[in-house]
A = this chain, B = another copy of it.
Amino acid sequence: MHTLHVELGERSYPIYIGRDLLADGALLAPHISGRQVALISNETVAPLYSEAVRAALPPLDLITEIVLPDGEQFKTLQTLELIFDRLLEEGHNRSTTLIALGGGVVGDMVGFAAATYQRGVNFLQIPTTLLSQVDSSVGGKTGVNHTLGKNMIGAFYQPQAVLIDTDTLHTLPERELAAGLAEVIKYGLISDEPFYRWLHEHMPALLAREEASLAEAIERSCVNKAEVVAADEREGGVRAILNFGHTFGHAIETDQGYGNWLHGEAVAAGLSIATRLSSQLGRVPESEVLALEALLLRCGLPVRAPESMSVEQFMELMGRDKKVIDGALRLVLLDAIGQAVVRADTPLADIAKVLAHSQR
């Protein structure tokens, strides 16, 4: 087992990475301070792992199991209300601990429920998808979607601990594994060129779900993200580079309706578009764009926006994104592989050009 520490002053917390962690009671117990727990999962993950987690919990006065519907389309205020209803009906008080067992949707919603239930209770994350292990387990972004935009309602709120059990990846559908790899590749692109080269080399092992390679990829992703988050917890500056590819990706997700494209798939197309834009602006050689696209395609990930989306639709949807500050579209671009920067001065014509390319 490896342990990382996300350094955020009094909000610091550990991330444990290894095999068979979710049934490890000795790991769980120190992070549960009260006598109440709500174990919150979804209908796909609960049958696989809930019982093991339940059996590993310390002695408690109250355990509530909440099973949410599975899918990004349920990441809403309405689903959040279901959680609040159950917690209140069963008498959970401020000393309760919420445990998020599942992917990013479960983690984001349970984190937001923890941030706002009785003005804040403790929570633990047990992410069971590659995407949530490398993304939502670091950084404290929690929230739900709104019909007019993704993650529009939420809070920054840190967990007590994150348990990444790499064994859970064996039950992960192939499409979800690929979606997680899109975020892994992003960390290489924005801040870690050696890791990016390593990924090209180890992609066959990752796709074959070889334990050591997966653990390595997860750890290096989390380390990269943790460094950025520690420098800028509330996204005042450098943290924005984590959104590389996401402004384009979010537009695709919003246009297609949540749940049709996986988040990681939309990000993959976004990475490709954003890297091509960087190349178009003379920062990255065209050959790197092609190499990236080959890597994404090897994972079975898309490298183009959906054909049905026009450049105009893209521009309209991106204008609604959180990254717009007072009229200027802030975009994350690459200055080189492994080096992302935030720019607010990209000419709209260049953005339109790369989008038009993506429609071909």
Interface set of A (CB-CB < 8 Å, partner B): 34-36, 61, 77, 81, 84-85, 88-89, 91, 93-95, 112, 115-120, 141, 143, 146, 148-149, 151-156, 234-235, 319-320, 322, 324-327
- A–B complex contacts, Cβ < 8 Å, 12 sampled: A84-B146, A85-B146, A85-B148, A93-B322, A115-B155, A116-B116, A116-B153, A116-B155, A118-B152, A118-B154, A120-B156, A155-B155
Minimum Cβ distance to chain B for residue A145 (Å): 11
Minimum Cβ distance to chain B for residue A94 (Å): 6
**Roughly how many angstroms separate A120 CA and B146 CA in the complex, as a whole number?**
15
Q: Choose one: B84, B115, B153, B320; the contact of A91 (CB below 8 Å).
A: B320
A117 — which chain B residues lie within 8 A by C-beta? 152-153
- Closest-by-CB residue of B relative to A320 is B91
Q: Establish whether residues A326 and B34, one from each chain, have CB atoms under 8 Å apart when the complex forms.
A: yes
Q: Establish whether residues A149 and B88, one from each chain, have CB atoms under 8 Å apart when the complex forms.
A: yes
Q: Establish whether residues B34 and A116, one from each chain, have CB atoms under 8 Å apart when the complex forms.
A: no
Scoring A143, A156, A326 by chain B CB atoms within 10 A of each residue's CB, the highest score goes to A326
Minimum Cβ distance to chain B for residue A55 (Å): 23
A81 — which chain B residues lie within 8 A by C-beta? 77
A95 — which chain B residues lie within 8 A by C-beta? 325-326
**Roughly how many angstroms separate A36 CA and B36 CA in the complex, as a whole number?**
43
Known: A61-B326, A94-B322. A155 touches B120 (CB 8 A): yes
- 4 cross-chain pairs, A with B, having the tightest CB-CB distances, nearest first: A88-B148, A119-B154, A118-B322, A116-B153
Minimum Cβ distance to chain B for residue A81 (Å): 6
**Roughly how many angstroms separate A152 CA and B151 CA in the complex, as a whole number?**
22
Minimum Cβ distance to chain B for residue A58 (Å): 14
Known: A95-B326, A326-B95, A327-B61. A119 touches B156 (CB 8 A): yes
Minimum Cβ distance to chain B for residue A110 (Å): 14
Known: A84-B146, A88-B146, A152-B84. A325 touches B119 (CB 8 A): no
**Roughly how many angstroms separate A85 CA and B146 CA in the complex, as a whole number?**
8
A36 — which chain B residues lie within 8 A by C-beta? 326
| Supplied contacts A77-B81, A91-B320, 9 more A-B pairs, CB within 8 Å | A34-B326, A93-B324, A94-B322, A115-B155, A116-B116, A116-B155, A119-B151, A119-B154, A119-B156
Q: Establish whether residues B119 and A88, one from each chain, have CB atoms under 8 Å apart when the complex forms.
A: no
Q: Establish whether residues B143 and A119, one from each chain, have CB atoms under 8 Å apart when the complex forms.
A: yes
**Roughly how many angstroms separate A17 CA and B189 CA in the complex, as a whole number?**
53
**Roughly how many angstroms separate A146 CA and B80 CA in the complex, as a whole number?**
12
Q: Establish whether residues B326 and A35, one from each chain, have CB atoms under 8 Å apart when the complex forms.
A: yes
**Roughly how many angstroms separate A119 CA and B324 CA in the complex, as a whole number?**
15
Minimum Cβ distance to chain B for residue A295 (Å): 31
**Roughly how many angstroms separate A118 CA and B119 CA in the complex, as a whole number?**
18
Q: Establish whether residues B116 and A154, one from each chain, have CB atoms under 8 Å apart when the complex forms.
A: yes
Q: Establish whether residues A141 and B119, one from each chain, have CB atoms under 8 Å apart when the complex forms.
A: yes
**Roughly how many angstroms separate A35 CA and B324 CA in the complex, as a whole number?**
13
A77 — which chain B residues lie within 8 A by C-beta? 77, 81
